[in-house]
Amino acid sequence: MTPSTEHELRPATPADYDAIAAVLNDWWGRPVLPSLPRLFLDHFHRTSLIAEGVTGMSGFLIGFMSPSEPDEAYIHFVGVSPEARAGGLARTMYEHFFDIARHHDRHVVKAITAPVNTASQAFHRRLGFTVSDPVPDYNGPGTSLVTFARAL
């Protein structure tokens, strides 16, 4: 179990996708499943994490080492069950991912979010990420996103 929580972290496996897909929209309160296709668990499970509590999966972090930017790691999606929020689980998963990135000689971790996700922006600031203003057309015409970067 992690020191600050009652959750055990383990590497993800491709088989975890169905459990994540089953709760993702409920945990977000809106449809977000299309943002996390199965390919992320098929191809990046070794650098992704599952948090398990006494009642099952309580969180996940999907991240990978950039194959194009040798200094960078990227966190694509993080989720914590509503019952496990505010207990430090997200921070614990991020810190574990930072250790994975350091092990792979990465010096920067990046991520993105929607401009409306102010809770995510505040969380990333607390973890020491720089948070950009919304970047117009980041994901194509009319899709602005906020970028995060943290030196390790």
Window from 26-30, 41-45, 100-104 with minimum mean pLDDT: 26-30
Q: 118-127, pLDDT tens digit by residue?
A: 999 999 999 9
The structure tokens listed for 35 are 């943002």
What rounded mean pLDDT belongs to the chain?
Answer: 94
Distance from C-alpha of 85 to C-alpha of 53, rounded to nearest angstrom: 12
Res 3 pLDDT > 80: no
Amino acid symbol at 13: T
Measure CA 105 to chain center.
Answer: 19
From the number of C-beta atoms within 10 Å of its C-beta (0-12, 13-18, 19+), residue 105 rates as exposed
User: Are 59 and 90 within 8 A, CB to CB?
Assistant: yes
Beta bridge pairs of residue 61: 49, 78
pTM of the model: 0.93
pLDDT for 29: 86
Residue 133 has pLDDT above 90, yes or no: yes
Residues 15-31 pLDDT 10s: 999 999 999 999 988 89
Amino acid type, 32: V
Res 4: pLDDT: 47
Given a cut of 90, whether residue 2 has pLDDT beyond it is no
Contact at 8 Å (CB) between 142 and 104? no
pLDDT tens for each residue of 45-81:
999 999 998 889 999 999 999 999 999 999 999 999 9
In this prediction, residue 1 has a pLDDT band, given cuts at 50, 70 and 90, of: very low
